[in-house]
């Protein structure tokens, strides 16, 4: 295991604990927000990047920031909606089962979020993280699980992931 693997495992642990705390409904909407966020970031991220390019000199950095900005905005809206739904509707008085299922969904969300991050690292390689991704024990499996995200993103993401997976 390299440092990237350790970070992925720690991140997964954080997602599981937060999922257990938040419960089932919030986790379902968080996962939906993550998936919809990736789709919208793939579609509108370049527009945001164009706007940001007047503030950020490096177009590559502007592209990454634009993508992340749209993703975070959509995910945040989904999280707020989930919290409001839980507060106002008083849904799911399942007690421990609500929290246990939230933890399971937290693990799923961790894998999906890890896949998105790794796909970005693969598509925009730098010396700082390329060797870590290539020598990671978990990266290949996580990217394979999250490969469906490339259907929502520009072609360059799919090409980079296919190259990484040897397809």
Q: What is the pLDDT of residues 32-85, one digit of tens each?
A: 999 999 999 989 988 898 898 888 888 888 888 888 999 999 999 998 988 888
pLDDT of residue 59: 81
Cα-Cα-Cα-Cα torsion 64, 70, 74, 80, nearest 10 degrees, comes to 90
The number of residues making up the chain comes to 167
Average pLDDT over residues 12-18: 97
Q: Token digits for 109?
A: 């969300």
> How many structural domains is the chain composed of?
1
* Contact assessment for residue 92 and residue 4, using Cβ atoms and an 8 Å cutoff: no
Residue 91 CB partners (closer than 8 Å, separation 6+): 25, 85
List the structure tokens of 142: 């996580």
Query: Distance (Å, rounded) from C-alpha 96 to C-alpha 87?
Result: 18
Q: Is 152 exposed, middle or buried (0-12, 13-18, 19+ CB in 10 A)?
A: middle
Quote the pLDDT of residue 37.
94
**What is the pTM for the complete model shown?**
0.86
- Contact call for residues 26 and 86 (beta carbons, < 8 A): yes
Domain with 88 in it: 3-165
Q: Mean pLDDT of all residues in the chain?
A: 90
Report whether pLDDT(92) > 90.
Answer: no
The stretch 134-154 carries a mean pLDDT of: 95
Both structure tokens of 54: 């007047």
């Amino acid at each position: 295991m390299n440092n990237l693997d350790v970070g992925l495992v720690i991140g997964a642990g954080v997602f599981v604990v937060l999922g257990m705390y938040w419960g089932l409904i919030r986790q379902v909407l968080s996962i939906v927000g993550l998936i919809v966020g990736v789709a919208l970031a793939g579609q509108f991220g370049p527009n945001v990047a164009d706007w940001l390019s007047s503030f950020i000199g490096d177009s590559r950095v502007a592209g990454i920031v634009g993508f992340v900005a749209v993703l975070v905005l959509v995910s945040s809206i989904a999280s707020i909606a989930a919290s409001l739904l839980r507060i106002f509707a008083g849904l799911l008085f399942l007690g421990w089962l609500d929290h246990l299922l939230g933890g399971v969904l937290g693990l799923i969300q961790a894998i999906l979020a890890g896949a998105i991050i790794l796909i970005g690292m693969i598509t925009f390689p730098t010396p700082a993280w390329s060797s870590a991704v290539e020598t990671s024990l978990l990266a290949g499996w996580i990217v394979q699980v999250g490969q469906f995200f490339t259907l929502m993103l520009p072609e360059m993401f799919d090409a980079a992931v296919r190259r990484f997976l040897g397809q």
